[in-house]
Amino acid sequence: MNLRALLELMRISNLPTVWSNALMGWMAGLYVCSTQATETSGPWGSGTGTAVGIGMLLALAMSMTYTGGMVMNDYLDRAVDSLERPTRPIPSGRVRPKTARSLAVLLLAGGFVLTVMLGRMSCVPSLQVICPTTVMAGVLSLTVVLYNLLHQRHWLTVILMGACRGWVVLACASVAIAESMFPFSAATWGWVTLPAGVLMLYTLAISIVARREVDPKRGGFGGPKTIMNMIAAMPLLDAAWLVGMGLWPASLVCVACAILTKLGHRRIAGS
């Protein structure tokens, strides 16, 4: 086993897209709070430095969840991959199945625990019993696991794949929103749920294209390059939404994530 094999197993080149999703969710949550003129009562406060630090920790938590899901996917698909994608880390023998299984558990558990910790530390006392972030993180982790367990059984599970991206946005936004006691309206939540829904649909489209690529009877839409370009373009959706909220400096980070993803694909495949 070598480092490159592990990086391939975790789809490390796709991580900038996860950072972008996490940033957009976190900033959308802060935006919702600011538009309602609410005062945060959690320990994070409202300083720029603190906001950046929490955003980075959320990006780390989401990265662990994403890479854990990718490793779990390859571990469960190792028999199929030995026939369709024999060069992947596990079927090629570069990573042992037991190693992949342990790594998947550690990453998924670590991502869940870190997200919950960030959420509970920000929750106001009235929400400490059932912190919204705990619920969001739990649903995200459950969705990742269910997709990996069921995606070989029915094509409709691509909906679960799309839902994973949406829950990333919701989980990160909930950390910011949980600091306030303001009873947010459905219209206010729209600033978070709408971009989450767009990401879900976009990821669903990527999943459908990817499935057609491995189905010789149906034919693909342009080959692996098309899939890679679609993945790399995902942060641009986050950037557009941030610009719409007037947060254009943060949108530049998302654009940088798109560029990093594209460059990363030249080194390590993202699918």
pLDDT at 86 over 80: yes
- Tens digits of residue pLDDT in 161-178: 999 999 999 999 988 876
- Of the listed ranges 41-55, 89-103, 214-228, the least confidently predicted one is 41-55
- What pTM does this model have? 0.88
pLDDT at 42 over 60: no
| pLDDT band for position 122 (cuts 50, 70, 90) | low
**CATH code at 3-265:** 1.10.357.140
Radius of gyration of the chain (CA): 19
Single out the residue of 238, 227, 237, 220 nearest to residue 205, CA to CA: 227
Separation between Cα atoms, residue 88 and residue 189, nearest integer Å: 41
From its phi and psi, is residue 194 left (phi > 0), alpha (psi between -120 and 50) or beta? alpha
- Tens digits of residue pLDDT in 30-41: 888 777 654 444
pLDDT at 61 over 90: yes
pLDDT at 188 over 70: no
Instruction: Specify whether the CB–CB gap between 20 and 240 falls below 8 A.
Output: no
b/e sequence 209-230, b meaning 16+ C-beta within 10 Å? bbebbeeeeeebeeeeeebbeb
Q: Which residue has the tokens 């991959």?
A: 81
Single out the residue of 192, 198, 154, 157 nearest to residue 175, CA to CA: 192
